[in-house]
């Protein structure tokens, strides 16, 4: 009986070391796979001797993974804000740069001064109008850029919501597969890896807290308290628009919020805080509307500063600035005003000096506006850089919890020795049994 037990014990050792070699090979082959959690064979001693495999242990630091997911969301949100502000800043331009808003204003001031010095020159009067048209076009380009970013954000939310629904459905299926696999006594490490990766993808869009359930499944709750999955996943709904203008807002009903299909109809956007979707909605509903309001204030200042003879150099409608048609038809009105029916004394600068002084009065204000846009972008870029640095640091921390190739190779050497030792036990016992058989 003792020789039979020795063979049984050695066979259990061979089985355990064979499985150990399989796990080590899996660890090594996935050493560079960030989504892979290191595996380790769990063993206990049998009461009658030998060893028993109780399962495959999966090593994953839940706290590090949660921090990594949260930081991934912050980095993604920072990138969204920076991209939007960069688009507006590019349209505004930098003080002193060719094509910037301040340069367009300086050019118009120069043409006004030149025209005031020689008011009889039709060429110089037309140059004022050309410069004014360029300045108006610059204002309008900034407004277009702002609304384009709002529209782009609206469409981005629609795409992200589709992704969220797909990922939530995937996690729900993985939950069911993990439950079934564990109930059948099989390991679910690979399925758990896939689920962790799906949760990481979701967290970039909507940061979530992961709640472990006793059956091996997880529930997911947003940082704002919205349950996204607990047994069954919710389905989100969002309706994008085809065009965007300043008047379109969430409060007016012209823009969509995020709803739960089959829910109570409430907008849950304010519960999906901290990630890419929240930042994209912020661009659409807050960041860009603020930029639009700031632009509108400067546009109104321009209208006020260039008003003369009861009208003005520019007109504005629906946020679009344009040179007054009367001036385009009769450039001499820049000098003589809108009241006369025919040109007056051509050597009189008339309203040209008024216009030059008016544009000079808003030069500082417009310069401050341009500088403010650059400062906002700079702060956003610094925030993004900081978020990316923290994310990289957490990635390195998570990687340190992963597969250590050197340690795995040492384990493989130990497994080889143990396998050889167990095989030797079987060989020796077999010889001993042969000896007994010959004696009988």
The 8-class DSSP code of residue 323 comes to E
Domain around 431: 2-60+403-439
Is residue 171 within 8 Å of 220, Cβ to Cβ? yes
Are residues 243 and 191 part of one domain?
A: yes
Together in a domain, 362 and 432 = no
Within this chain, do residues 40 and 156 fall inside the same structural domain, yes or no?
no
Task: Specify the pLDDT at position 354.
Answer: 92
pLDDT score for 409: 77
Q: Is 256 helix (H, G, I), strand (E, B) or coil?
A: coil
Shared domain for 81 and 131, answered yes or no, is yes
Q: Looking at the structure, do residues 235 and 202 belong to the same domain, yes or no?
A: yes
pLDDT score at 1: 46
* Residue 365 shares a structural domain with residue 408: no
Own/partner contacts of 326-333, CB < 8 Å, gap of 24 or more, are 327/129, 328/129, 331/122, 331/125, 331/126, 331/128, 331/129, 332/122, 332/125
pLDDT for 46 = 78
**Mean pLDDT split into 10-residue runs, the chain, 440 residues:** 75 78 76 74 76 73 85 96 96 84 94 94 95 96 96 97 97 95 81 92 96 92 95 96 93 94 91 95 96 95 94 92 94 93 86 93 91 94 95 82 74 80 80 76
Neighbours of 112 (CB within 10 A): 30
- Among 368, 237, 255, 253, CA closest to 301: 368
pLDDT value for 134: 96
Radius of gyration in angstroms for the set of CA atoms belonging to the chain, rounded to a whole number: 36
Confirm if 352 and 47 have CB atoms less than 8 A apart. no
Place of tokens 């030149």: 114
Q: What is the pTM of this model?
A: 0.85
Can you tell me whether residue 314 is helix, strand or coil?
strand
Answer with the one of 364, 382, 397 that is the final residue of a domain. 397
pLDDT tens-digit map of 96-134: 778 889 999 999 999 999 999 999 999 999 999 999 999
Q: Which of 113, 88, 46, 6 is nearest to 352 (CA)?
A: 113
**Angle made by CA atoms 208, 212, 218, in degrees to the nearest 5:** 65
| Same domain flag for 30 and 102 | no
User: Residue 276 and residue 89: Cα distance in Å, rounded?
Assistant: 21
- How do beta strands 38-45 and 51-59 pair? antiparallel
User: How many domains does the chain divide into?
Assistant: 2
Q: State the burial class of residue 178 (Cβ atoms within 10 Å of its Cβ: 0-12, 13-18, 19+).
A: buried
Which tokens in the block code for residue 63?
A: 């706290």
């Amino acid at each position: 009986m003792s020789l039979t037990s020795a063979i049984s014990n050695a066979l259990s050792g061979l089985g355990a070391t064979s499985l150990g070699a399989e796990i080590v090979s899996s660890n090594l082959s996935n050493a560079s796979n960030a989504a892979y959690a290191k595996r380790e064979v769990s063993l206990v001693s049998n009461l009658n001797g030998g060893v028993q495999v109780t399962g495959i242990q999966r090593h994953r630091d839940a706290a590090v993974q949660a921090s990594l997911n949260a930081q991934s969301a912050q980095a993604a949100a920072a990138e969204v804000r920076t991209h939007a502000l960069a688009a507006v800043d590019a349209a505004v331009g930098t003080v002193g740069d060719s094509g910037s808003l301040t340069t367009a204003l300086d050019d118009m001031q120069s043409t006004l001064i030149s025209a005031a010095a020689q008011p009889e020159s039709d060429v110089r009067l037309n140059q004022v109008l050309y410069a004014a048209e360029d300045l108006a076009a610059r204002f309008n380009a900034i407004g277009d850029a702002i609304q384009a970013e709002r529209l782009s954000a609206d469409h981005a939310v629609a795409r992200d919501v589709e992704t969220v629904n797909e990922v939530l459905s995937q996690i729900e299926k993985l939950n069911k597969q993990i439950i079934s696999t564990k109930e059948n006594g099989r390991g679910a490490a690979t399925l758990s890896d896939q689920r962790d990766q799906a949760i990481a993808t979701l967290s970039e869009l909507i940061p979530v807290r992961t709640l472990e359930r006793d059956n091996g499944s997880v529930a997911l709750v947003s940082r704002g308290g919205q349950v996204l999955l607990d047994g069954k996943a919710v389905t989100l709904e969002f309706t994008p628009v085809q065009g965007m203008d300043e008047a379109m807002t969430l409060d007016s009903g012209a823009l969509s919020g995020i709803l739960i299909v089959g829910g109570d109809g409430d907008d849950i956007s304010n519960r999906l805080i901290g990630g890419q979707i929240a930042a994209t909605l912020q661009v659409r509903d807050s960041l860009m509307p603020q930029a639009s309001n700031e632009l509108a204030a400067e546009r109104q200042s321009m209208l006020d500063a260039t008003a003369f003879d009861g009208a003005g150099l520019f007109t504005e409608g629906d946020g679009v600035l344009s040179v007054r048609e009367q001036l385009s038809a009769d450039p001499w009105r820049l000098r003589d005003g809108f009241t006369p029916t025919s040109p007056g004394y051509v050597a009189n600068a008339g309203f040209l000096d008024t216009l030059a002084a008016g544009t000079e009065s808003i030069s500082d204000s417009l310069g401050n506006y341009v500088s403010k846009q650059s400062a906002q972008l700079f702060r956003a870029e610094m925030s993004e850089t900081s978020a990316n640095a923290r994310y990289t640091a957490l990635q390195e921390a998570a990687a340190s919890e992963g597969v250590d190739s050197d340690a795995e190779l040492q384990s493989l050497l130990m497994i080889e020795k143990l396998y050889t030792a167990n095989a030797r036990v079987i060989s020796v016992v077999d010889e001993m049994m042969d000896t007994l058989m010959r004696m009988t």
